[in-house]
Structure 1
Amino acid sequence: MSAFDDLLAFQRQTEALSSVAERLGWDQETVMPRGATEQRAEETAAMEAVLHERRTDPRVGEWLDQAVPEDEEDARIIELIARDHQRATRIPARLATELAKQTSLAQSIWAEARANDAPQDFLPALNDILMLKREEAAALADGGDLYDALLDDYEPGATQAQIAALFDAMRPRLVALRDDVLGAEFQPQPLKGDFPQETQLRLARTCATAFGYDWSRGRLDLAVHPFSSGRWQDSRITTRVVETDPFNCLYSTIHEVGHSSYELGIDSDYAFTPLGRGVSMGAHESQSRIYENQIGRGRAFSGWLYQRMSDAFDGLSVPDAEAFYATVNRVTPGYIRTEADEVQYNLHVMLRFDLERDLIAGRLDVENLVEAWNARFLKDFGVAVDRPAHGVLQDVHWAVGLFGYFPTYALGNVYAGCLNAAMRQAVPDLDRFLAQGDAGPAVEWLRENVQRHGGLYPPRDLIERATGAPVSEEPLLDYLEEKFAGIYRL
């Protein structure tokens, strides 16, 4: 066997073990008994120790030095394994194992604190994680920027300076649009009523099926914070239910189907290689956000959904499909990022981006985080946070150590704006299918142009190949202004 063959065989086992570790996380957030938290933390730490040992194995470096690629795919595999190997060797095994253990423990502490509106129960655990993440960032940065070192895990090649510049370019138009919308004479009515859990879940499955979700390789479960997990032949989704707000369940499901479809849509030849997963979280969010918003909240698909919901709930409080479309896209100054309308969603992300940069840089201490969050939220949204579960405790990300992850949500929206413009040109009669509850043509275009490539191309290259144009915030902002000017009769 050649050095490349040896490297690939070794990596195949590493990828398989990584998938097993991910399944432990899925189990913890869905069906694990509450009393198993400490045991699961030990199991997670043990798996991370094994994975870290494999990623830093000296033989990997030797194989990388000797491996000769035969084509573009081989070269990219070598590049990605080398990147992971270099990053892993900078992190001490003790630190990798301790991070895995503490984030597993903190996840349950966060869920309990969120349920009880008790940030004081979670902040000590968060502080422990922050100290570990600062240590990890210092090891990875090698004298460079700490936050950039963490961001690179989720959006390779991106820097906080680039993200900050992007947000600075987006913010004025988003704020102006929000002010126009909230000041408009016409305001859509909220959806009112009681919507039983089982009926919501049946509809969620119907929506997932409309988007081509492969039930033979996936499943839908409940979680405190919706997420998707897995790849290749097993990619699962979760949602949550609020019986007064069915949109929470339905659009969380569609969002997670976007993530899962990306993983399930990757070329099967890439399984158990670094090419066999989404190339970045920004690319991943481009899929979940375009499924949820440009497709799922569009007039055509929402018209189909209106009839399904009217039948399921024996009528709705809004009179027709057009009023329902406005209600689905209603702009309100809510607290929760995952429930935010398209106009304000990115403003929620910008708040988190700035706070976590300050946490990593040491400009903000955990003991002052609640006050800082509430003050920033009031400034940005004009509303005082009413309870911690609607504020600093609403997201699981910091509990599980995902510092640097949040900006990829907004970057994913930007990518989705670019993709939507290109897709609409390529599939001009798309709305005719969506009005019948058939997202197939959209899914097929995204699978062909984005999903099947997995990790083959760097994130921005992937989007630019798909669209034939440079990545820009303009398509997203133009889409938002046109859509909401129409809904709000501006």
Structure 2
Amino acid sequence: MTAYDELIAYQKDTHALAQVMGRLGWDQETVMPRGGAEQRSEEMAAMESVLHARRTDPRVGDWLASAEAADEVGRANLRLIRREYDRATKVPADLAKALAKATSRAQGIWADARAGEDVAAFLPTLAEILRLRREEAAAIAGDADPYDALLQDYEPGITGAEIEALFSRMRPRLVDLRGRILSSGFDPEPLKGHFAEQVQLALSTEIAQVFGYNFSHGRIDKAVHPFSSGSGQDVRITTRVDESEPFGCLYSTIHEVGHACYELHVDDAYFLTALGGGVSMGVHESQSRSYENQMGRSRAFTGWLFGRMRDAFGDLNLKDADAFHAAVNRVRSGYIRTEADEVHYNLHILLRFDLERALIRGDLQVADLELAWNDRFEADFGVAVDKPSHGMLQDVHWSVGLFGYFPTYTLGNVYAGCLFNALRADMPDVDAQMAVGNLRGATGWMKDNLQTHGGLYEPRDVVERAARAPVSEAPLLDYLDAKFGAIYGL
């Protein structure tokens, strides 16, 4: 075997073990008994120790020094393995283990604090995780910006300064659109009624299949915070249910199906290699957000969904498909990011980006986070936070150490705007297809033009190849102006 062959064989075992650890995380969020949290934190720490040892094994460095790539796939594999090796060797093994243990334990503490509306119960845990992540960031970054070092875990190649500039360009148009909508004098009637849990779950299963989710390689479970888990041949999703508000279940499912289909559609030749999953969280979000919004919240698809909702739940309080479409896309200053309309969603992300960047830099202390959150939210959304679960306790991300993750949601929206422009150019009849519940053309375009490539190209490159244009926020903002201008008569 060549050095390259030996390296790839070794990496496949490492990736297989990482999938096992991921399955432990899925189990913890879905079916693990609450009393198992302490043991699970020990198990996760042990798995992280094994993985860290493999990722920093000196043989990896020797193979990288000797390996020669025969083609584009080989070069991409070496590029990604080298990136992971360089990062892993900068992080002490004890620190990696401590982070895995702390973040595993923290999930239950956060969930209990959220349920009890008790910020004080969570702050010591958050402070410990932040301390560990700062230590990790400093080890990786050296003299560079520690937040930039953390960003590379989720969106390789981007910097906080680039994100700040992008968000600064987006904010004026988002705020202007929000103002015009809220002063339009039109407020769509919301969907009201009782929507039984089992009927919601049955409909969400049907819709998952409409969007191309393959249940022979996946499943849907419930979780406090919906997520997708896995890659290759086993990719699972979760959703949530509120019997007074079915859109949360249906659109959480569509969102997670976007993530899952990306993983399931990566070229089989890349299975259990560095190329065998989504290339970044921003590109991942481009799939989940385009499935959820450009497809799932379109007038074409909601017209079909209106019929299926009436079949499933009987007569609705909304008179026709136009009223249903307006209800699905109703703009309001809600507290919850995952329930936010497309206009407000990115304002939620801008808030989180600024706060977590300040936390990592040490410009904001954990003790002051709740006040900073509440002040910023009232300034941006015009309403005061009424309880912690509607404020800083609503998201799971910081409890599991995902500092640097939040901005990828808006990056995903920007990428989705670019991609859907190209999809519409290639498929002029896409609305006619979606209007009869046929998503095969739209999701097939995403599969063929982006998902199949996995990690072969860098994040921006894979989007620009598919979109056939440079990445820009303009397509997203133009789409929002057109869509909500039509709904609100602007």
Q: TM-score range by the shorter chain?
A: over 0.9
Q: Cα offset for 1:431?
A: 1.1
- The equivalent residue for 2:305 is 305
In 2, the alpha carbon distance for the partners of 1:236 and 1:315 equals 33
The reply on whether 1:432 has 2:432 as its aligned counterpart is yes
Correspondence 1:3-82 to 2 at 5 A: 3-82=3-82
In 2, the alpha carbon distance for the partners of 1:384 and 1:223 equals 27
Correspondence 1:352-391 to 2 at 5 A: 352-391=352-391
In 2, the alpha carbon distance for the partners of 1:316 and 1:325 equals 13
- The equivalent residue for 2:207 is 207
**Structure 1 stretches of 4+ moved >4 Å:** none
Correspondence 1:222-237 to 2 at 5 A: 222-237=222-237
In 1, the alpha carbon distance for the partners of 2:388 and 2:185 equals 33
SS in 1 for 2:184: coil
Amino acid at match of 1:162: E
SS in 1 for 2:230: strand
- The equivalent residue for 1:338 is 338
- The equivalent residue for 1:161 is 161
Q: Cα offset for 1:259?
A: 0.1
Q: Cα offset for 1:416?
A: 0.1
The reply on whether 1:269 has 2:256 as its aligned counterpart is no
The reply on whether 1:187 has 2:182 as its aligned counterpart is no
Q: Cα offset for 1:186?
A: 2.0
- The equivalent residue for 2:479 is 479
In 2, the alpha carbon distance for the partners of 1:449 and 1:25 equals 31
In 1, the alpha carbon distance for the partners of 2:345 and 2:186 equals 21
In 1, the alpha carbon distance for the partners of 2:404 and 2:187 equals 36
Correspondence 1:78-157 to 2 at 5 A: 78-157=78-157
SS in 1 for 2:303: helix
SS in 1 for 2:334: coil
Q: Deviation per CA, 1:14-61, whole angstroms, max 9, x where unpaired?
A: 000000000000000000000000000000000000000000000000
In 1, the alpha carbon distance for the partners of 2:203 and 2:111 equals 26
How many pairs are equivalent? Answer: 490
In 1, the alpha carbon distance for the partners of 2:123 and 2:185 equals 43
- The equivalent residue for 2:469 is 469
Q: Cα offset for 1:412?
A: 0.2
Q: Cα offset for 1:460?
A: 0.4
Q: Cα offset for 1:264?
A: 0.2
SS in 1 for 2:400: coil
In 2, the alpha carbon distance for the partners of 1:312 and 1:249 equals 14
Q: Cα offset for 1:169?
A: 0.2
In 2, the alpha carbon distance for the partners of 1:438 and 1:43 equals 44
In 2, the alpha carbon distance for the partners of 1:375 and 1:363 equals 16
In 1, the alpha carbon distance for the partners of 2:185 and 2:255 equals 31
Amino acid at match of 2:112: E
In 1, the alpha carbon distance for the partners of 2:19 and 2:60 equals 20
RMSD: 0.5
- Structure 2: runs of 5+ lacking an equivalent: none
Q: Cα offset for 1:253?
A: 0.3
- The equivalent residue for 1:417 is 417
Q: Deviation per CA, 1:237-272, whole angstroms, max 9, x where unpaired?
A: 000011111000000000000000000010011001
Q: Deviation per CA, 1:418-455, whole angstroms, max 9, x where unpaired?
A: 00110001011011111111110001100001100000
In 2, the alpha carbon distance for the partners of 1:369 and 1:332 equals 25
Q: Deviation per CA, 1:331-367, whole angstroms, max 9, x where unpaired?
A: 0100000000000100000000000001001111111
In 2, the alpha carbon distance for the partners of 1:183 and 1:163 equals 30
- The equivalent residue for 2:290 is 290
In 2, the alpha carbon distance for the partners of 1:472 and 1:122 equals 38
In 2, the alpha carbon distance for the partners of 1:117 and 1:200 equals 27
- Structure 1: runs of 5+ lacking an equivalent: none
In 2, the alpha carbon distance for the partners of 1:272 and 1:128 equals 33
In 2, the alpha carbon distance for the partners of 1:475 and 1:307 equals 30
Amino acid at match of 1:430: V
- The equivalent residue for 1:392 is 392
Amino acid at match of 1:367: A
In 1, the alpha carbon distance for the partners of 2:217 and 2:458 equals 27
Q: State the TM-score, normalized to the length of structure 1.
A: 1.00
- The equivalent residue for 1:402 is 402
In 2, the alpha carbon distance for the partners of 1:317 and 1:113 equals 36
Amino acid at match of 2:435: A
| Higher deviation after alignment, 193-202 or 90-99 | 193-202
Amino acid at match of 2:216: S
SS in 2 for 1:238: strand
In 2, the alpha carbon distance for the partners of 1:284 and 1:140 equals 24
Q: Cα offset for 1:143?
A: 1.1
SS in 2 for 1:154: coil
SS in 1 for 2:317: coil
- The equivalent residue for 1:280 is 280
SS in 1 for 2:215: coil
Amino acid at match of 1:402: L
Amino acid at match of 1:417: G
The reply on whether 1:239 has 2:239 as its aligned counterpart is yes
In 2, the alpha carbon distance for the partners of 1:122 and 1:202 equals 35
In 1, the alpha carbon distance for the partners of 2:371 and 2:56 equals 41
SS in 1 for 2:191: coil
Q: Deviation per CA, 1:165-204, whole angstroms, max 9, x where unpaired?
A: 0000000000000000011122211111111111111111
| Higher deviation after alignment, 186-195 or 279-288 | 186-195
SS in 1 for 2:235: strand
In 1, the alpha carbon distance for the partners of 2:8 and 2:379 equals 51
Amino acid at match of 2:413: N
SS in 2 for 1:236: strand
SS in 2 for 1:189: coil
Amino acid at match of 1:39: Q
Q: Deviation per CA, 1:437-480, whole angstroms, max 9, x where unpaired?
A: 11100011000011000000000000000011000000000000
SS in 1 for 2:135: helix
Amino acid at match of 1:279: V
Q: Deviation per CA, 1:87-113, whole angstroms, max 9, x where unpaired?
A: 000000000000000000001100111
Q: State the TM-score, normalized to the length of structure 2.
A: 1.00
Amino acid at match of 1:252: S
Amino acid at match of 1:43: E
Q: Cα offset for 1:206?
A: 1.2
Identity %: 63
Amino acid at match of 1:72: E
In 2, the alpha carbon distance for the partners of 1:214 and 1:438 equals 16
